[in-house]
Every structure is written in structure tokens, then in C-alpha cells.
Amino acid sequence: MRFWKTCLAAAALAAGIAGIGAGNAQAEDKQITLCWAAWDPANALVELSKDFTAKTGIQMKFEFVPWEHFADRFLNELNSKGKLCDLLIGDSQWIGGSATYGHYVKLNDFFDKNGIKMDDFLPATVYAYSTWPKGSPNYWALPAMGDALGWVYRKDWFARPELQKEFKAKYGRDLAPPKTWDELKQVGEFFQGREIDGKKVYGMAIYTERGSEGITMGVTAALYAWGFQYQDPNKPYHMDGFVNSKDAVAALEFYKSLYKCCVPPGHSDAYMTANLDAYKSGQVAMQMNWFAFFPGIVKDPDVGGDKSGFFVNPSEKVEASTLGGQGISVVSYSDKKDLALEYIKWFAQPDVQKKWWSLGGYSCHKAVLEAPDFAQSAPFAADFLKAMSHVQDFWQEPTYAELLQSMQKRVHDFVVADKGTAQEALDKLVEDWKQVFIDDGKLTE
């Protein structure tokens, strides 16, 4: 009898364990993993995605990687045909390679079947985040996180009467957010080395980082404002006289002048985090950075609230801003593409997009951006909308990594390492890029 009870107990335990295993397997079957960078918008997406789970029963798992390892981690995952990511919010520059090499699921049929219209999203974001070939009606991502390069300034410092008076006496205008690059430099020089509240401060934090994409993103903020073009619009991949034009040379020289005149000591390898640190610690009067970080600035205990203001990238010959941001794609190697597509369908809804913006994400949906009260919805909202209307992006070719490495080297050598002239740097860059396109079969010798 005792043995029989023991056998029954063992059988019940085994059945229970099997049931738990089945339950876990079912839970895992109804779970997808979304991969992105580790930053504030990702935290907002976690909060937003709780609504998706509540509505569908599909559990969400997240794989967030710091920006400095983001590209290496997830490009390696794609190239190895890994199954970690069911959904991936990948950089705009990845779209060409990911479409060409089959990493992403083409979404056209899915969009058509579910009434998802690309006309509902800001055209610049569809072009940059979704299409390959560029501008074609071939969609590999849904615009997910609009972003552009903008500027933050110490509004409380600018408002000080004694500084206003001194600045106006020197430059003949009010100390205000600059609208041109010349005005930007004047403000930077004005604050450089000045003492404020007993502390020595500096003019601005700009991008100078060599290792990934930093200095390219910073330099292009100037290049685009001078009217820079990557190629002859009538002869694709022909770059002479465009990449190394007189205006491009002038823009690169100007960017170097900002580095020489107006940055904190040691600011020679700085990107997003370094600029944020310099600004939040009260070292600089201004910083360039992505709009994605601006909600955090507003809430910061040291520089938030009325202490900070925002302005769009200054113009020179044209209005232009460096594009950031990403689209969300379904990874073709996923075993749960059907569940991942359910997330895309849910995320595309206008009400979800409105909540995405309210939580600190940057919607690309016209229902959000074209709402009558959008410009008043955040201190930086109007500037964000203006920036997104004039964004330009780096090459999105499958060979973008080689193209980026060359530009990082050439402009860093000139701006930071003080090697050669701007003309020489851009001439060498043209030669580098020509070779990349020759090797890729898109340009002849």
C-alpha cells in the first residue's frame, strides 16, 4: 500500500512536471524577442509593449545592447543567420545590406493585407527607414523611431542680463539660440573659458569620436547645411566635385574651427554619452545630440526644466539636419515571424503611435506629427518636426560599413589629428569610396 501511494505520488509529480514543461513551452511559443539599443527610448518601448501583451497574450522579451556594441552585436547576429531576434530595430544604414542579403522580411504584402499605408508616415522616415532600393515602393521596415541631430543650450545662462548685455555689445545682437553656423561659433567663443557660478565653462560639445560613427554624424551636420551631396544626382556613384566640392571643404574647415575654438579640454573622442556628460555636468553652454535624448534632458535634476532650451541644426546655405532613428523589421531567420508581424500590425496603429510619443518615443506617424497641438506637446517638439522635414542620411548601401570607416578616418585625421587640409581629406575620401564601389561592381575603373 505504501509502495502504491508512492508510485501514485511519483506519477502525479511526473505529470505535474510534464504539465509545467508544457506550460513553459506554450509560454515560450507565445513569446518574441525584440532587439534594440539600450537607451531611454527602449525603456519607453518596454512600457508601451505591455499593452501589446495585454491585447494579444504574446509575451515580449527584450535584448538591449549599449550603443558602443550595438552594431557589432546585431550585425553579427544577422550575418550569422541567428535566431535571437524576432524583431529588430536596426539603424537606417543597415537597410540596404539587410534587404540585399535577405536578413529582413519584405513587408509589402503584409502591409497591403492589413491596411498599413506608408502614406500615413512622414515621407522622409519612409524613405530613410523602410525602402530599398531607396525611394522605391519596396518596404523592409516600419518607421519606428524618428530622430535627427539637434542642439541643447543652457537657457538659464543665455538669459542672464549681464551676459546679454556683454554679448550684444560685442556682436550687435541678442544672446539667443543661433540660426546660422557663424552665430553658433560666436556663442561658443563667447562662453569658452568663461566663469559661471565660480566654475570655468566651455562653448560646446560636438561629436569627435573615431571608433564607430560619431565624427561622421557631427561633420555631416555641417556638410548638409552647406548643401553637401554624396554623388552626382544624374550619375550615381560619381562623386568628384560633390563630396570634395568647395562648399564641402568650407563646411569641414568650419567644423574643425569649432573643435579648435570651443570644446572642453580632452573632447577629442566624444559621441553621444560624452556630450551628455559634458552638458549635464555644467561644462558647456551647448551640445549637439540626438533628439532621442531630449526628454531625458527635460527631466534631468541638474539641467532640466527651464534651465535648458533646444534649437534645430543651424542653416548655412540650406536647412538640413543629420538623420538618426530606425525602422522596426521582422528578422527572416526567426521561427516566430507570424507573431512578430502581429507586433508590427499593432505598433502601426495611430493610437499606439500617440502613446509611443507620450512615453518618450519618437513617432513617425502623421496622426501624431500633424496633430494641431503637436508643437506644444514638448519643449522640443516643434524643432523635432522642423528637423525631420529636412533630414539627410549617410550612404545606405550594403557596403555602408566600409564607406563609414573611410569617412571616420579621413575627417578625424583632419579635424582632430590636424593632418593635412580639408581638401586633401575629402579628395582622399572620394578615392576611398570609389574603390569601395569598384569592388562592389557599381563603378568602373
Which of 289, 322, 355 corresponds to the end of one domain? 322
**Same structural domain for residues 139 and 153?**
no
Residue 16 has pLDDT above 60, yes or no: no
Q: Is 401 helix (H, G, I), strand (E, B) or coil?
A: helix
Q: Are residues 113 and 159 in the same domain?
A: no
Supply φ then ψ for residue 143, to 5 degrees.
-55, 125
Q: What is the CA radius of gyration of the chain?
A: 25
pLDDT for residue 3 is more than 70: no
Strand, coil or helix: 146: strand
Last residue of a domain, one of 392, 414, 435: 392
Residue 198 parent element (H or E): none
| pLDDT attached to residue 113 | 98
Is residue 427, in this structure, part of any structural domain at all?
no
**Residue 87: which CATH number?**
3.40.190.10
User: Do 198 and 234 fall into the same domain?
Assistant: yes
Q: Is 64 exposed, middle or buried (0-12, 13-18, 19+ CB in 10 A)?
A: middle
Q: Domain limits at 349?
A: 30-148+324-392
Whether residues 120 and 180 share a domain: the answer is no
Q: Determine, yes or no, domain membership for 9.
A: no
The angle formed by the CA atoms of residues 113, 119 and 125, to the nearest 5 degrees, is 110
Q: What is the pLDDT of residues 306-345, one digit of tens each?
A: 999 999 999 999 999 999 999 999 999 999 999 999 999 9
Please report which confidence band the pLDDT of residue 29 belongs to, taking 50, 70 and 90 as the band edges.
confident
Q: How far apart are CA 53 and CA 12, in angstroms?
A: 32
Query: Tell me: the pLDDT tens digits for 38-90?
Result: 999 999 999 999 999 999 999 999 999 999 899 999 999 999 999 999 999 99
323 beta partners? 148
Q: Are residues 161 and 117 in the same domain?
A: no
Distance CA 31, CA 107 (A): 21
CA dist., res. 339 & res. 140, Å (int): 17
169 and 38 both lie in a single domain: no
Summarize pLDDT for 159-189 with one digit per residue, the tens.
999 999 999 999 999 999 999 999 999 999 9
Q: Is residue 110 part of a domain?
A: yes
Interval 366-408: pLDDT, tens? 999 999 999 999 999 999 999 999 999 999 999 999 999 999 9
Domain count, the chain: 2
Judgement on whether residues 307 and 186 belong to the same structural domain of the protein: yes
21 within some domain: no
Residue 55 located in a structural domain: yes
Residues 183-205 have pLDDT tens digits of: 999 999 999 999 999 999 999 99
My answer on whether 171 and 304 are in the same domain is yes
442 located within any domain: no
CA-based nearest residue to 217, from 127, 288, 134: 288
Domain boundary pick from 305, 322, 339? 322
Query: Taking 80 as the threshold, does the pLDDT of residue 219 lie above it?
Result: yes
* In a shared domain, residues 157 and 141: no
Average pLDDT, rounded, for the chain: 94
The SS3 of residue 273 is helix
pLDDT per position as a tens digit, 271-297: 999 999 999 999 999 999 999 999 999
pLDDT score at 9: 37
pLDDT > 90: what percent of the chain?
93
pTM over 0.85: yes
Residue 27's pLDDT is 52
207 and 229 both lie in a single domain:
yes
Q: How confident is the model at residue 20 (pLDDT cuts 50, 70, 90)?
A: very low
| 17 confidence band (pLDDT: 50, 70, 90) | very low
- d(CA 229, CA 264) in angstroms, rounded, equals 31
Same domain assignment for residues 221 and 287: yes
Residue 11 lies in a domain: no
Statement to judge: residues 43 and 137 lie in one domain: yes
Is 186 domain-assigned?
yes
